[in-house]
């Protein structure tokens, strides 16, 4: 049985994340979507809020679960019997950083990293941009699930 992790901040989850999570869920037996707890970086959504939105967004995918972690991702993998990290690649700008991370994680443990190329319609999409546009009243309705849109509007009301 192959269990993988899709790690990230998910502040909040976007359709770009969901594209990668759905595709990973078709390829692997079990997918854990893991929210990184970063004490030094306060997000717009709390960790519990992010997990709630992710649970809702993945409720139709029975082999997907959610969790949060702090510390090293490879330790989370070892503790949870996870054999690979799955990451989305948007553009060449993601590549340098992701390759470095993948090689560092690979040097720390046996955990491998697999990349899934983004669907072109989401290649410009990042949570930070969604927040910036939503904050100024721009239309992000095609970029996030409905309930995320509602919560974003509430945050900036
Ligand atoms: P963001 O850049 O949106 O804040 P995260 O830190 O939450 O993203 O990223 C978690 C993972 O999701 C990373 O592997 C990232 O490359 C991937 N990802 C984020 N947005 C997209 C997208 N639009 N298409 C494909 N993968 C994405």
153 part of the active site = no
pLDDT at 114 over 90: yes
Band the pLDDT of 39: cuts 50, 70, 90. confident
- Predicted local distance difference test score (pLDDT) of residue 18: 98
Give 41 or 143, the one with higher predicted confidence.
Answer: 143
pTM of the model: 0.95
**Which residues does 140 contact at the CB level (< 8 Å), separation at least 6?**
130, 133, 134, 149, 152
Exactly one of 26, 41, 42, 136 is catalytic; name it.
41
Give the whole-number percent of the chain exceeding pLDDT 90: 92
Residues pairing with 84 in the sheet: 4, 112
Band the pLDDT of 91: cuts 50, 70, 90. confident
Strand-strand pairing, 112-117 and 84-89: parallel
Give the residue whose CA is nearest to atom 2 of ligand 1. Answer: 126
Ligand 1 in reach of 8 Cβ (< 6 A): yes
Which of 44-53, 58-67, 68-77, 90-99 has the lowest average pLDDT?
A: 90-99
pLDDT at 54 over 90: yes
90 part of the active site = yes
Band the pLDDT of 157: cuts 50, 70, 90. confident
127 part of the active site = yes
- When pLDDT is averaged across residues 16-37 and rounded to a whole number, the result is 98
Q: Supply 79's token pair.
A: 């503790």
41 part of the active site = yes
Q: How many other C-beta atoms can be found within 10 angstroms of the C-beta atom of residue 68?
A: 16
58 by DSSP, 3-state: which? coil
Residue 65 CA, ligand 1 centroid: distance in Å: 17
């Amino acid at each position: 049985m192959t269990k993988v992790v899709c790690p990230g901040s998910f502040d909040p989850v976007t359709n770009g994340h969901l594209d990668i999570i759905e595709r990973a869920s078709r390829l692997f037996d079990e997918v854990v979507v893991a929210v990184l707890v970063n004490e030094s970086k306060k997000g717009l959504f709390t960790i519990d809020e992010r997990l709630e939105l992710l649970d809702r967004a993945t409720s139709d995918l029975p082999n997907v679960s959610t969790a949060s972690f702090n510390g090293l991702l490879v330790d989370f993998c070892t503790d949870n019997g996870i054999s690979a990290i799955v990451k989305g690649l948007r553009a060449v700008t993601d590549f340098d950083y992701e390759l470095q991370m993948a090689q560092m994680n690979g040097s720390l443990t046996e955990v491998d990293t697999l990349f899934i190329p983004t669907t072109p319609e989401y290649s410009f999409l990042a949570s930070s941009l969604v927040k910036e546009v939503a904050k100024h009243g721009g239309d992000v309705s095609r970029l996030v699930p409905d309930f995320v849109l509602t919560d974003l509007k509430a945050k900036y009301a």
